Amino acid sequence: MKNGVMLQGFEWELPADGRHWSFLKKQAKHFARMGITSLWLPPATKGSGGARDVGYGVYDLYDLGEFDQKGSVRTKYGTAREYRACVKALRAAGIQTLADTVLNHRLGADGTERTRAFPVNPENRLEIEPEAVDAEVYTRFTFPGRGGRYSDFTWDASCFTAVDWNGLDSRKSLWLLEGKRWAEDVDGEHGNYDYLMGADVDVSEPRVRRELNRWGRWYLVHTRVDGFRLDAVKHISAAFYRDWLKALRRASRREVYAVGEYWQPNVDCLLRYLDQVDHGMDLFDVPLHFHLREASSSGGAYDMRGLTRDTLTQRAPMCAVTFVDNHDTQPGQSLESWVEGWFKAAAYGLILLQKEGYPCVFWGDLFGIPSRGIGAVSELPELMRIRRWCAYGEETRAVDDSHIYGFVRGGDARVPGSGCVFLCTNAEGGVRRVEVGQDFAGQVFRCAIGGHEAVTVGPDGWADFAVADGGMSVYVPEETWKVRAWRVWASAKRGMRAALHGARVKLMG
């Protein structure tokens, strides 16, 4: 019995030095010791930006850093050989690998085509001009650098729905290609949110569907990843991914884990999507992210009782992948909505110790974002250990208070020494009387994070637990504390982090 943790294995501003796959490979055992059980790898496919592309501007799905295309053989993260070696090392360390998969759009076409297209209002994609006009569009993908290796499929205008550039018209607009229509089972923002960027892939085209099914099978065999993180699913027909995953699981006779990125704070939209895909994938708990963000940035005004209200954690816990931040929400990125630093530890305490959800830890929080001078969340390694050893059993709400959120994990007999008490606040702290349960009567709980005195649970199963202003506390049974010798380990780790941080601050002057 073991609680899992997913690591998002990158942040947006990693150096484009081609060494990331090798680094992850070297760190595989270290990640496993930290309690990481799956690792979401950034897109391995060649993007239009070549060796500098983060991976979301996908050019060629079959070029994982193997062909001289877009100015280099390797991608931002390394070569195809290094990617496969990295997957292999992670697997050997007992860590599942998830491939970031971008099927919505293509960028960096090899050539243009003349066709006809309808101008569309980018703000309301249902406003389509009645007359088609001549257009020159970047939709010809022939991959001369790959020369047909792995697949001889080439792409032309018939494979795409729309583009945002017409070489014959200098307007900044959106162009629906003649004979095409928007998918209807997509997000409803902007009237219809099928189009995101680049050349929008038409997944209703049978040739395209066959090719993408084929690619999925190829990818599983070629790279041996365990599953997928599916990019931008709100811009792709829900029926497409429902069928794509079913076909892939049938063909590979494997479970093939999948989690989708549906960027939408309204939980009802996420629930509808889960129904549309027959619950064939998990989704990131985007509503929870926005609650955490709000709790961190509303100057104490946020009512903590609503922290998990109308989130996937609450409404579809079996399909919730919880997270605090990611490569898109980090400062400077397209969906910037960064959970503020002072609240980060509390936010991670919540997702790592609560019963529901599969937590995903962000690289930029675990290791910091040096390019922005953002340090690591120093409590994270300890929280991950507490998750692994203590966060078992039923969860009961311990505090019902507008500023303090807290719960007890009752422990599980199969994990000796398990159970914990979690408290966090977005404003004033204090001491709260909490029912830990009769099973813990007479037991001592140590404050593993928060720096408060140990408490002894009374014969009635109640005890007083403290949380500092704007802080968080985690208490664990003393038995666990002693066995794991946390204090020594944690303080050594803190010392090292402080030294590293100090050195970085000095370097940055």
**Positions marked catalytic:** 231, 261
Binding map of Ca ion across residues 139-178, x = CB under 5 A, - = no contact: ----------------------------------------
Contact 407, 397 (CB under 8 A): yes
Which range of residues in 54-62, 228-236, 318-326, 467-475 is near Ca ion by CB under 5 A?
228-236
Scanning 28-36, 191-199, 305-313, 440-448 for contacts with Ca ion by CB under 5 A, the matching segment is 191-199
SS3 breakdown of the chain: % helix, strand, coil, rounded to 5? 30, 25, 40
- Rounded Cα distance, 269 and 257, in Å: 22
Judged by CB under 5 A, the residue of 187, 200, 261, 285 near Ca ion is 200
Nearer to Ca ion, 159 or 404 (CB): 159
Which residues make beta-bridge pairs with 77?
Answer: none
Q: Binders of Ca ion among 97-116, rule CB under 5 A?
A: 104
Residues 261-300 that bind Ca ion (CB under 5 A): none
SS3 425: strand
* Angstrom distance (rounded) from CA 398 to CA 261: 32
Nearer to Ca ion, 61 or 436 (CB): 61
Identify which of residues 235 and 403 has a Cβ nearer to Ca ion in the complex.
235
* DSSP 8-state symbol, 221: H
60 lines the binding site for Ca ion (CB under 5 A): no
CB of 191 to Ca ion, least distance (A): 14
Q: Quote the least distance from Cβ 187 to Ca ion, whole Å.
A: 10
**Residue 194 binds Ca ion, judged by CB under 5 A:** yes
Question: Which residue, 118 or 257, has its beta carbon nearer to Ca ion?
Answer: 118
Q: Is 13 or 194 the residue whose CB approaches Ca ion more closely?
A: 194
Distance from C-alpha of 228 to C-alpha of 198, rounded to nearest angstrom: 22
Cα angle: 42, vertex 158, 127; to 5 degrees: 85
Separation of alpha carbons 157 and 209, rounded Å: 15
Of 26-34, 188-196, 216-224, 374-382, which part binds Ca ion (CB under 5 A)? Answer: 188-196
Stretch that binds Ca ion, among 189-197, 315-323, 345-353, 423-431 (CB under 5 A): 189-197
Q: Which is nearer to Ca ion, 66 or 200 (CB)?
A: 200
Closest to Ca ion by CB, 182 vs 405, is: 182
Q: How far is the CB of 338 from Ca ion (least distance, A)?
A: 27
How many residues of this chain bind Ca ion (CB under 5 A)? 4
| b/e code 441-475 from CB counts within 10 Å (16+ = b) | eebbbbbbbbebeebebeeebebebbbeebbbbbb
- Contact region with Ca ion (CB under 5 A), list: 108-116, 227-235, 269-277, 413-421: 227-235
Q: Can you point out the beta strands (E) in 217-372?
A: 227-230, 257-260, 282-284, 320-323, 358-362
- On whether the CB atoms of residues 261 and 232 are closer than 8 A, the answer is yes
**Shorter beta-carbon distance to Ca ion: residue 157 or 455:** 157
The answer to whether residue 63 forms part of the interface with Ca ion (CB under 5 A) is: no
Cβ atoms 75, 65 nearer than 8 A: yes
Q: Are 6 and 37 in contact (CB under 8 A)?
A: yes
Distances (CA, A) of 51 to 39, 65, 84: 22, 9, 18
- Minimum CB separation from Ca ion for residue 162, in Å? 8
Amino acid at 8: Q
Measured distance CA(58)–CA(65) in Å, rounded: 12
Could you tell me the CA-to-CA distances from 84 to 66, 89, 397 in Å, in that order? 12, 9, 44
- 269-293: b or e for each residue (b if 16 or more CB lie within 10 Å)? bbbebbeebeebbbbbbbbbbbbbb
Kindly state the smallest distance separating residue 384's Cβ from Ca ion, in Å: 36
Mark the segment that binds Ca ion (CB under 5 A) among 5-13, 195-203, 434-442, 485-493.
Answer: 195-203
Spatial separation of the C-alpha atoms in residues 365 and 302, rounded to whole Å: 23
**Over the Cα atoms of the chain, what is R_g?**
25
Region of 448 on the Ramachandran plot (φ > 0 left; ψ -120 to 50 alpha; else beta): alpha
Show contacts with Ca ion in window 298-317 (CB under 5 A).
none
- Closest approach, Cβ 271 to Ca ion, in A, equals 21
Q: Tell me if 235 contacts Ca ion by CB under 5 A.
A: yes
Q: How far is the CB of 234 from Ca ion (least distance, A)?
A: 9
Which residue, 79 or 104, is less far from Ca ion as judged by CB?
A: 104
Location of structure tokens 């690289």:
363
Nearer to Ca ion, 236 or 436 (CB): 236
DSSP states along 133-201 = EEEEEEEEB--TTTTTSS----B-GGGEEEES-BTTB----EEEETT----SSS--TTS-----SSEEE
Residues 65-104 that bind Ca ion (CB under 5 A): 104
Element (H, E) at 274: helix 267-276
Least distance to Ca ion, CB of residue 208, Å: 11
CB of 163 to Ca ion, least distance (A): 12
Q: Structure tokens of 285? A: 């708990």
Of 197-205, 216-224, 419-427, 486-494, the segment contacting Ca ion by CB under 5 A is 197-205
Residues that bind Ca ion (CB under 5 A): 104, 194, 200, 235
